[in-house]
Structure 1
Amino acid sequence: MLSLPASAPDAPPGVDPAEFRLALLEDTYEVVAGLRSVTPALVLDPPDQPDAEAVTWPGTEIVREPTLAGAFAALHALGAGEAALVAADAPDLPPLLIGKLFRALGGAPAAACRAADGHGLVALAARLPLPGWLAAALTGIGLDTPDALSRLRAAAPRPGLVPQGPGWHRLRTPGDLRSLDPGLEGWENTRALLEGRPLGA
């Protein structure tokens, strides 16, 4: 299980972009690391991001891979039989949604959580090692690929091999901040950074 830094999100006006990126990453990492029976890891592309590594707990594995296929292969080499790649800009992602993806792997080799705006994925879970068709498809698909889910389903040898769990939002633009619920627990770093600012402004 890991948190995968996506392309850098656009920070809202007046917020330092580097601080915003790290706040999102740290909150998303805390969601992942807090799951029972899950071992967190961090996937980095580009590979040298000491500020991102600094938000992880001691002993967290750091995977330096530019593709989803490479990241899954690296996790399998570390001993994982299942893994989920989670975009780093979903700081308030409910742990239940990740759990649903893992449960779906009981009947399918992969399962996806689609971004609420319909562009790309929030998370992708898979049994490891990846089947050949999925590994080949993932060499050219990332979590930010707008039609990622439809391309994965088109690559599958038969229907039903990539079920879709409930979707969730990602924070890629200042307007996406309106999807944050101040009453929802979690996302403490992001909340502190945005304190006093209207969400979605």
Structure 2
Amino acid sequence: MTRNQTAAIDLIAQAAPLWESPTFWAAGAVGATLGVGAVAAWATLRAARPKRQLAYWHDTLPLIQQPTLGTLVQRRIAGSGLEVRLHGQALENPRLVTIHLRNTGRSDITSAQFDGGAPIRLLLDLPILELIAVDSVPEEATPPALSFADPPLELRIGPGRIGAGCSVTYTVLVDGHTDVRLRHGLADVKVRRRA
């Protein structure tokens, strides 16, 4: 061992433990203060800008299974067929379309988020023949107001409150296959289509 190494070891052995140093405690206090300040700033920003998110999707349920060529021939031979009618009119391809809206954010979507009082518009490719059901979860939640366009190719929802974690579903009857698109003017709300 060299003379310099021996001197360094002796110096370290004579030094007081680190936790007895006033510099150590001053640095620790500064670090703790910065940590508390960072947490307080994060909490303030989170509270000042609440996260509002709306997810939407739809399910389609055919009321009559569309026949294949083999089953179509069998039906014609048997002479019987199942038919769905609405107000005396036979429906070719009746389907129930259930449209789901869910507030997946931490904060309520209130009437104030509906820019200029404009509703959420759910556009379908086919006319809505009948509104079958409106449901909400939790059940005590009141769904926003609902209206139809003329011709009835869209549902208009709101303005109204959709609470954090709440879901609203609308079930309608259409005649044929349709897609659902959502148009909105919601302010400070991230809207996404769920796959």
TM range (shorter): under 0.3
TM-score by length of 1: 0.23
Structure with bigger helix share is 1
TM-score by length of 2: 0.23
The structure that has the greater radius of gyration is 2
Structure with bigger strand share is 2
